[in-house]
Amino acid sequence: MASTLCYPLGLSLLMMMAGLLLARLKLKKRLGFVLLMTGWCWLFVMSLPITSIFLGQSLEQMAGPYANPEDLSRAGVAHIAILAATSVEFGLSPADRWGTVGLLRLMEGIRLFQALPGTTLIISGGSFRERQSSAESMAELPVVLGIPREALIIETRGRDTEHECRLFAQVVGKRPFALVTSALHMPRSIEILRDLGLEPIPCPCDFRSFRNSERIRWYLPSAIALRETTLAIHEYLGIAWHRAGRIIGERRL
């Protein structure tokens, strides 16, 4: 709940509601008007594609380019780990049940797997309320596409990114491995894994900030841009939270 108020929509609505309340109660009309306009302006700015591009590009540039299978082969990569994405209804087909994010991560992992004979795909993702886990659901599509079931490691215990990263350590040990996730999500994931003493090689996909090439639309607010801005802010907050936890842990030691 608290984190939701840090996102553009939640913070904007909070400021506008507080402004309306102050104005209606005639406590501080000027302050109420300022809060109301600040909330509206904040929502407007956060809904601009130029804002989402500015915030997202920094993270995606940190993630690096698409992975080159030859580089992975030279590094001795034997495992390709795919971080889970949220799935939709389990009653749909193996492909249709996944949103864009999940499909892009999965297909990038399959691309690398096919270019690196002998490797293993690690597919992670826990279950929610005793339903089929995301990993189990996600594993069905590569099998349909011809990936042998024995080439898959399905990890169903992951609760979040950090927990998934800890579980990867039990499989890959100290050996280099390929990490596949969205470019926005890559910097935080790599930082967590390296803090655990692992050697992940970033293999980003799902690049978002480079899709909007029509610059005239960069300054027209949209719900899509607001969503992209929110995703970027979520990653920045996640990085800050992880670093704060690391600092607190070091002080305790």
Domain ranges of the chain: 3-58+219-252, 64-205
Buried b / exposed e over 82-119, threshold 16 CB at 10 Å, is bbbbebeeeeeebeebbeebbbbbbbbbbbbbeebeeb
User: What value does the mean pLDDT take over residues 164-193?
Assistant: 88
pLDDT at residue 130 in the model: 45
Output the average pLDDT for the chain: 83
Q: Does residue 158 contact residue 127 with C-beta atoms inside 8 Å?
A: no
Report d(CA 180, CA 106) in Å as an integer: 8
* pLDDT the model gives residue 201: 95
For residues 60-74, give the mean pLDDT.
94
pLDDT for 192-250, tens place per residue?
Answer: 989 888 899 999 999 987 666 667 778 888 998 999 999 999 999 999 988 888 777 66
Beta bridge partners of 87: 98
For CA atoms 166, 167, 168, 170, the dihedral sign is positive
Cβ neighbours of 140 (radius 10 Å): 17
> Domain 64-205, CATH 3.40.50.880 — does that match?
no
Q: How far apart are CA 82 and CA 135, in angstroms?
A: 9
Residue 5 token pair: 């108020």
86, two tokens: 């949220």
- 14-37 pLDDT, tens digit per residue, is 888 888 888 777 667 778 888 889
The pLDDT value given to residue 60? 94
The single residue listed with the structure tokens 């894994």 is: 193
Straight-line distance from the first to the last Cα atom of the chain, in angstroms, rounded to the nearest whole number = 31
- List the single range of 92-96, 122-126, 129-133, 239-243 with lowest mean pLDDT: 129-133
pTM: 0.85
At 107, the amino acid letter reads: M
Which region holds residue 190: left if phi is over 0, alpha if psi is between -120 and 50, else beta? alpha
Q: What is the mean pLDDT of residues 140-145?
A: 82
Helix, strand, coil shares of the chain as percentages rounded to 5? 60, 10, 30
Residue found under tokens 């890559």: 186
- What pLDDT does 165 receive? 75
Label residue 130 exposed, middle or buried (CB < 10 Å: 0-12, 13-18, 19+).
exposed
pLDDT at 253: 47
Q: Coil, helix or strand for 82?
A: strand
* Angle, CA of 210, 98 and 115, to the nearest 5°: 65
What pLDDT was estimated at residue 208?
85
pLDDT of residue 31: 84
